[in-house]
Structure 1
């Protein structure tokens, strides 16, 4: 399940960055909400899947509550999921 979670974390982080730094500025600066509409739903689904899988995988990896909290909070911080991947999900740490 760890490789799947790493892919979900990568996609969730990428969708968040695209939504935050590309789609939202285009929406407000160029008055074109199309990109937010395109990226919004996939990002929302990936976000929810990330949260659910993180909770399930935390028991398998025996994470402390603090580690789980960091992994969950990382989903709302830009580039946070990339930090989680490097710090907690790399195969050398698993």
Structure 2
């Protein structure tokens, strides 16, 4: 497997995972505790764009790069779990060094 697509995927995963964390732990408290719903609108839109980009990157890795389907399934699952992309990135980092 080429290293460049995997590096791009790892970067995209960390961006998407980071945007989820910002949404959950910054924007949501701002909305519900401080009455600032604009925070969720802005961060939610950015996160939505990054999530769609991440899903397209999963499809690219699956069909073009031909990585195992189990990684694609795991990539989709971790996108919904806070800190999931960080843990998955560590697994992919080990793959990259092999």
- Match for 2:67 among 62, 68, 82? 62
Q: How many residues align?
A: 92
2:38 aligns to what? 34
Give the TM-score normalised by structure 2: 0.83
Unaligned runs of 5+ in 1: none
1:78 counterpart SS class: coil
Q: Is the 8 A contact 2:14 2:86 kept in 1?
A: yes
2:24 aligns to what? 20
Unaligned runs of 5+ in 2: none
Give the TM-score normalised by structure 1: 0.86
Q: Distance in 2 between matches of 1:66 and 1:2?
A: 15
Structure 1 stretches (4+) deviating beyond 6 angstroms?
none
Q: Does 1:10 align with 2:10?
A: no
2:97 aligns to what? 92
2:80 aligns to what? 76
